[in-house]
Chain A
Amino acid sequence: METLLDHLLTIAGNHPDRIALRCGAEAVRYGEFRVRILATAARLRALGVEEGDRVLICGGNTLAIPVLYFAVHALGAVAAPVPPDTPESVLAALAADSAARLALVEKTVRGMPCAVASPSSMTERTASDEEIKPVCRREAIADLLYTTGTTGRKKGVVLTQANVLAAARNITEFIGNGPDDVEVVPLPLSHSFGLGRLRCLAVTGNTLVLEPGVGTGAQVVKRILDTRATGLALVPAGFDILRRMTGDALGKAREHLRYIEIGSASIRPETRQWLTELLPHTRICHHYGLTEASRAAFTEYHSDNHKAGTVGRAAPNVEIFICDEAGRPLPAGETGEVVVRGGMVMREYWNQPELTQQTLCREGLKTGDIGYLDADGYLFLLGRRNDLINVGGRKVAPDEIEELLCQLEGVEDAGCVGEPDELLGECVKAYLVADREIRRAEVVAFLRSRVEECKIPQIVERIARIPRTSSGKIQRQILRSAKEVAWTSGQ
């Protein structure tokens, strides 16, 4: 079988009555899932979507999104999932960049350069539903995933059908989940991590329980207990929320929760310890990876407890190298750039050949992260690859926020850095050089219609000057250590 959809349709043929998806009170069995995918594909084709066309899919965790994702694949078209809180202007920019044929968006959007349709109406069943014969080719582009670049300009990561199938197989092989598993997923399906869980569904044929988000955490824990879930996928900040809001209630699931996948950020040592003590029999798998190279490495908390600080060993069917500046592999113990090779490594960046050339090398994909491998093959990261701020697993480019902040009346200069946050790991802290007092509420009101919520600074401080290099680049290390900067808060 060459693609995820091949797998999914085979499972649907063999086990039509098994439940594929749950969302709230609704459940969809594999047989029904297959029918909805192929009928939706027929409707997409009627709207003009053809093989190779890009289709933006903008929506939260509803049953419509998985149906649309695989329906787009069934046409040999390219799925470009986008978070539901994407501002109008960004959505239009992504549609233009991808030259999308169609955008599936629930809300009303203006200025879109392509046709727009509602996800829910596209997936509703009718008596006259037709089905298409799916197109399944390994080399076809499956997904175009927009990720935050260091300058704030989004990069489109091009993943082929072979890439996404390889990633799903690698993940499933490491975690060891199977068709009987019931997995709760409060992660957005528009994000690489959540989408990865959906792809794994096509390989394992298990049940995914979609949650609209982490929320206060209480609903997630209740869902885990009510469904007697055997699996859970969550970002580290999600566990901090669960712990803060529901105490040790997750521990009630210890008899049935067989596995957890964690990713998108590092976890606090105390949260890791809490989880391992709370769930002594659960396989707790934390991945390291990028949208460009999904799940490059895994660590399992219980079995790797003796390796403090590692992000794990290479995932199944993946190789990790440490390379010097000339791109030559280095021996164990030596520090260099982390390079990843495997079937899941992206084909290219969309319409950015220079960036692709800079990122892909003979050994694989240059992550930009600095680290070393120990003698046992465990990877340790020593440095961040860029200035991106990791807000609960979502990456924020400070440049994008700074550019917008400088448009606020009275702001002469701005600099943003990541600030430790009790629940999110990091939040955005903005320093402003301004000729007047600027309240945070004003900043929030200004940014809210322009960027996603996670990008809005939680802390705003006035400062005398933003430290910059002679070439004008912000010296963020200095900005982070406020005492070293000649500034006074509120001046």
Chain B
Amino acid sequence: MNTDMAEDTVIEILRNALQVDGDFAPSDAMRLEEIPNLDSMARVRMVLEIERVLDDRLSMEEIIAIESVGHIRELLAAKGKPLAEG
């Protein structure tokens, strides 16, 4: 698995959700509630970004399971999309 590629995609997703540029490199262990400014709307944007990358809708269970940065990467990897995009 190309971990770097998946990580880049994750960071891009979060950057877009948070609407920030520049340095933003959260660790996999970082929980979503620890990310500054990731309020309700940013979380919605995050899910929409993930769905855009995957070109697929997430289920309610999949959305609930996203509790950390690492979970986003695991979800992307499980669905295989980021590697294909690379």
Contact = CB atoms under 8 A, between A and B. Distances in A.
Contact of A216 (B20, B37, B63): B63
Contact of A215 (B19, B37, B40, B61): B40
B47 interface: yes
A329 B39 CA distance: 44
A453 B41 contact: yes
Contacts of A448: 37
Contact of A249 (B19, B33, B41, B60): B60
Contacts of A445: 20-21
Contacts of B46: 216
A453 B44 contact: no
Given A453-B37, A453-B39, A444 B64 contact: no
Contact of B40 (A222, A241, A244): A241
A249 B21 CA distance: 35
A411 to B, nearest CB: 19
Interface string B4-42: 000000000000000111000000000001000101111
A423 B44 contact: yes
A178 interface: no
A217 B58 CA distance: 13
A267 interface: no
B20 A245 contact: no
A86 to B, nearest CB: 13
Q: Interface majority SS on A: helix, strand, loop or mixed?
A: helix
A241 B44 contact: yes
Contacts of A222: 60, 64
Contacts, number: 52
B64 A441 contact: no
A392 B41 contact: yes
B43 interface: yes
B60 A246 contact: yes
A218 B19 contact: no
A77 B78 CA distance: 55
A218 B60 contact: yes
A245 B66 CA distance: 13
Contacts of A454: 41
A221 B43 CA distance: 15
A213 B64 contact: no
Contacts of B41: 392, 423-424, 453-454
Interface of A: 85, 212-219, 221-222, 241, 244-247, 249, 392, 423-424, 440-441, 444-445, 448, 453-454, 456
27 contacts: A212-B33, A213-B39, A213-B40, A214-B40, A215-B43, A216-B40, A216-B44, A216-B46, A216-B63, A218-B60, A218-B61, A219-B64, A221-B60, A222-B64, A241-B40, A244-B44, A245-B47, A245-B60, A423-B41, A424-B41, A441-B19, A441-B20, A444-B19, A445-B20, A453-B37, A453-B39, A453-B42
Given A216-B46, A445-B21, 14 more contacts: A213-B39, A213-B40, A215-B40, A219-B64, A222-B60, A222-B64, A241-B44, A244-B44, A246-B63, A247-B60, A392-B41, A423-B41, A424-B41, A453-B41
